[in-house]
Amino acid sequence: MTSQQHGESSEGSGTTASGAKRDRAYDIVLFGATGFVGVLTAEYLAAHAPEGLRWALAGRDTAKLEKLRERLAALDPACAGLPLVRADVADPASLRDMASHARVVATTVGPYLTYGQELVGACAEAGTDYVDLTGEPEFVDLMYVRHDARARETGARLVHACGFDSVPHDLGAYFTVQQLPEGVPLRVDGFVRTNGRFSGGTFASALNQFGRGRQMLAAAKDRRRLEPRPTAARRTRRLGPPRYAAEVGAWALPLPTIDPQVVQRSARALERYGPDFRYRHYAAVKTLPMALGGPVALGGLLAAAQLPPVRRWLSGRLKPGDGPGKEVRDRTWFSVRFVVRGRRQAGLHRGRGRRPGVRRDGEDAGRVGALPRAGRTAAVRGAGHHGRGDGRRAHRAPGRGGADLPGRVGALAGTGCPRPTQGGAGHP
């Protein structure tokens, strides 16, 4: 690793002592800072990083990093002194050096199956916490198989799927569960609506996964052999059939994304989900023509991705690093609505035409209101602008190393989610 500014670094890369971690040069290193999502993340940190946070920009092109730093300094003059770290996925030694100087590495460099594996290994060895934006199930399972054991030894928390996949769904499902009595069977359906567009990196990751069905299944099987058996509580995820969902007034199309896996594994880790928990994940579509055309388009893309020449051609239409401009992003939104069915119990609002409900939006996250027709269901709605999030709370609580989840780690930040007891590899 090379840097224009170096703070004090820790001695050795495998330490697990929290004091040694605090002595490292940087609290956060943002790797891939000059890419499309990296720039957005850097701008967010420039605007919202708490005072005293020691963070750095990292990437393979120092000239681009310098230009980004100038851009950030225009937003906040304090950013003029941001350290720049040169690290390259093609140079594993540079990744190890970067990891050894950071408490947390946040990476936006995808597709992660192609560009992310060496960095996860470096963080696991160094005892460095790691977060990414991946939605690639094969990558997540492979990282668990290869690095969870070492991450537990060094205390590294490896947390995947910290973007749209799967923070709204993992945190939202847990938040929903919290509105209901404990110890009862729960059936949760998540309904997603958005007008957002893919970035080039997301599109490339999706194409890559579509063409690797056999490898994805093999990685999942390897993980199941190593992963501890779940508790006696029952946890299931199902795609569910397409249907008209009267509860949200839309056609519900099952979404074959990583999100149900993330929610399920959070549920396995936490007793609060009750003795019998099931989660289904849907796209909510308002019109029947869209409901009929969506699966056909997805099936066509899936079939095309099996042919390498076609996959390469499609990849050239939207390249990693490309993405919607600011005007488009400012008009972009998403909403996730969770509908829960559980056993009727005393204490749950049982009639009276009301049910517990919380509506959350980007500007008024604390507003609480009643939703009609309670009894056995509760609903939580969340909405926000695509590409934005609330990063003002930084998790500071101790943890073990190893595989972890956005939902569990959220507890460390006081977001109402449970506290992990150990670190390790994985998302779900």
- Give the pLDDT of residue 64: 97
In angstroms, rounded to a whole number, what is the distance separating the alpha carbons of residues 317 and 98?
A: 33
Query: How far is residue 404's CA from residue 143's CA, in Å, rounded to a whole number?
Result: 12
**Distances from the Cα of 327 to the Cα of 68, 126, 187, 323, 369, angstroms:** 20, 40, 39, 12, 32
Q: What does the alpha-carbon distance between residue 164 and residue 197 come to, in Å, rounded to a whole number?
A: 12
Residue bearing tokens 């990693």: 320
As a whole number of angstroms, the distance between CA 195 and CA 329 comes to 10
Q: Which residues contact 74 (CB under 8 A, 6 or more apart)?
A: none
Note the pLDDT of residue 214: 83
Burial of 143 (0-12, 13-18, 19+ CB in 10 A): buried
The one-letter amino acid code at 159 reads: V
Are 42 and 7 a contacting pair, CB within 8 Å?
Answer: no
CB atoms under 10 Å from CB of 273, counted, come to 26
> Prior bond to 181 cis, omega within 30?
no
- Beta partners for 3? 85
pLDDT at 201: 65
What is the Cα gyration radius of the chain? 21
* DSSP SS3 for 60: coil
Q: What residue spans of 49-179 are helical by DSSP H? A: 62-75, 92-100, 112-115, 117-126, 137-154, 167-178
How far apart are alpha carbons 107 and 135 in whole angstroms?
A: 13
At residue 195, φ and ψ (nearest 5 deg) are -110, 15
The fold of 2-159 is Rossmann fold (3.40.50)
Give the CA distances from residue 2 to residues 86, 96, 101, in Å, rounded to whole numbers and listed in that order.
Answer: 5, 12, 11
pTM greater than 0.85? no
Dihedrals phi, psi of 190, to nearest 5 degrees: -105, 130
- Start-end ranges of CATH 3.40.50.720 in the chain? 2-159
Cα Dmax for the chain: 65
Q: Which amino acid is at 13?
A: S
Cβ atoms of 275 and 181 closer than 8 Å = no
Spell out the per-residue pLDDT of the chain, length 428, in tens.
555 544 443 334 444 445 567 789 999 999 999 999 999 999 999 999 999 999 999 999 999 999 999 999 999 999 999 999 999 999 999 999 999 999 999 999 988 999 999 999 999 999 999 999 999 999 999 999 999 999 999 999 999 999 888 899 999 999 888 888 888 899 999 999 988 766 666 766 666 666 677 888 899 899 989 887 766 667 776 666 788 999 899 999 988 889 999 998 888 888 888 889 999 999 998 876 666 666 656 666 566 666 677 666 666 666 666 777 788 888 888 889 999 887 654 333 332 323 333 333 333 222 222 222 322 333 434 333 333 333 222 223 335 677 766 655 554 444 433 333 345 554 44
Report d(CA 144, CA 132) in Å as an integer: 14
